[in-house]
Copies of this chain bind each other. A is one copy, B any other.
Amino acid sequence: MCSARVRSDDDLTTRARIREAAVDLFGRAGFAATSVRAIATEVGVSPALLLHHFGSKDGLRQACDDHITGWLTDEIERVNVDDTPATVMSLMGRRPEYNTMIRYVRRTIVDGGKFADRVFASLVTDTRRYLAAEVAHGHAPPTDDEEGRALTLVVLSLGTHLLAQYLAPPGTADDDVIFVAGERLALPMLEMLTHGLYSDTLMLDAYREYLARIPHLTSEKGSR
């Protein structure tokens, strides 16, 4: 079920080849900017066949979402067993089929919608689990706002993917962008996650004071 996702196109049913092409094109150009005709041409079939199999363009998107969901679940599960985020970040983007998935997820997040909400939520959940493990092993101190810390990490990693095209040098081959961007930021990010940026608590104190002075909510946030 897992290794079956890596194979030459010849092995696939036409239905599956259509879906693969759709995932690729949706991920690259977005759902709205990808026409049914473009996908059909890519696969070498008629536009009508596509609707015969999936009912409508939205049906095809649904099939892509489902496919990616399963894929993502498998991979995260497989990876959580024995890898660290650093190695995961390095490994991903190396293999072209990961590129396709990451591009699709990227598009999903950018375009929004229910599926995107679910994907984001699951990323946060996974990060919280990872952070809890780090705290348990004594590699990170506990915090009042575990969710906030997880959100910050998700912004860092997802943001790196979202902005990959700007982080990789101009002219980087399309399929290398995600990997190159990850490598570019890995060291300065780890540096910041290890030693922080500021050498004093000036900023932090200033913001805490700002929060204390303006009690804008039924806030229990500025506490500790």
Residues in A lying within 8 Å of B, measured CB to CB:
30, 32-33, 84, 86-87, 90, 109-110, 112, 116-117, 120, 134, 138-141, 143, 145, 148-149, 151-156, 158-160, 162-163, 165-167, 170, 184-204, 206-208, 210-211, 221-222
Contact = CB atoms under 8 A, between A and B. Distances in A.
A155 B163 contact: yes
Contact of A140 (B84, B185, B190, B197): B197
B199 A196 contact: no
Nearest to A134: B198
Main secondary structure of the interface of A (DSSP, over half): helix
Given A155-B163, A159-B156, A162-B162, A145 B188 contact: yes
A152 B185 contact: yes
B165 A162 contact: no
Contacts of A190: 203-204, 207
B199 A138 contact: yes
Contact of A193 (B84, B139, B165, B203): B203
A185 B151 contact: yes
A207 B204 CA distance: 29
A140 B187 contact: no
B202 A139 contact: yes
Contacts of A90: 210
Contacts of A156: 152, 155-156, 159
A118 B74 CA distance: 39
